[in-house]
Amino acid sequence: MFGKKGTSTVKGDATTYIGTGMKIEGKLRCTGSIRIDGEIHGDIDCQSEVSIGPSATIVATIHAANVTVNGRIEGNLFTSDQLEVLSEGHIVGNVSNPPGKLIIHEGAVIEGQCFTYDTPKKLTQVTDKSNKGSKILTTQDKKLLDPPAQGKAVG
C-alpha cells in the first residue's frame, strides 16, 4: 500500500475514506474512488473519483477522472471527465476539464481560470517556477504556471 517515503498508493475498487480530523502530507495516488473530509497537503492523483466533503481542506494539485467539490481546495484541479462544484465548494486555483463537463452549483466559488481541452494531456519536462526545481508537468500545468500574455491597450 505504501510506496516511497511520503507516497501512498491505494489500489482496488473500494472507496477510501479520509475522515474529519485526519491530516495527510505528501502524495496520494489511488486507482479506486476516494472521499475526503479531512485535510490534505501535497498532490492527489486518482484514476477514479475524488469527492471533497464540506469539512475538507485541500492544499494540493489534483489529477482525477471525476471530482466533486463541496469543501475548500487551494491548488489546480485537472479532470479527465467531470468536475462538479457543489454549493459549499470553494476552489482557489485553476481548473481544467473536457468541454461540457463542468457543473457549478449556486453558491459555489471558483477563484481562478477554467480551461477546457479536447485531447488528453501530454507530459512535458519543464521548470516549475514556483519551486525553482525541475519536474514532470503536463502541458496544461505549464500553461497555468506561465503568466498570462498582456494585451495592447486600446486608446
pLDDT in tens, 29-68: 999 999 999 999 999 999 999 999 999 999 999 999 999 9
Indicate whether 127 pLDDT > 50. Answer: no
**Cell numbers placing 66:** 471525476
- Residue 2, helix vs strand vs coil: strand
Residue 143 neighbours by CB distance under 10 Å: 15
- Whether pTM > 0.85 for this model: the answer is no
DSSP 8-state secondary structure symbol assigned to residue 75? S
- Residue 143, helix vs strand vs coil: helix
**Cell numbers placing 20:** 474529519
**Once rounded to an integer, what is the mean pLDDT over residues 114-138?**
53
The answer to the question of residue 99 being in a domain is yes
User: Are 92 and 129 found together in one domain?
Assistant: no
User: Are 56 and 77 found together in one domain?
Assistant: yes
Indicate whether 151 pLDDT > 50. Answer: no
What confidence score (pLDDT) does residue 96 get? 93
User: Are 84 and 101 found together in one domain?
Assistant: yes
What confidence score (pLDDT) does residue 117 get? 80
What confidence score (pLDDT) does residue 88 get? 96
What confidence score (pLDDT) does residue 56 get? 96
The answer to the question of residue 153 being in a domain is no
Q: What residue numbers bound the domain in which 131 lies?
A: 118-147
What confidence score (pLDDT) does residue 82 get? 95
User: Are 27 and 50 found together in one domain?
Assistant: yes
What confidence score (pLDDT) does residue 38 get? 96
The answer to the question of residue 154 being in a domain is no
CA distance 3 to 6: 8
The answer to the question of residue 41 being in a domain is yes
CA distance 136 to 124: 6
**Cell numbers placing 126:** 519543464
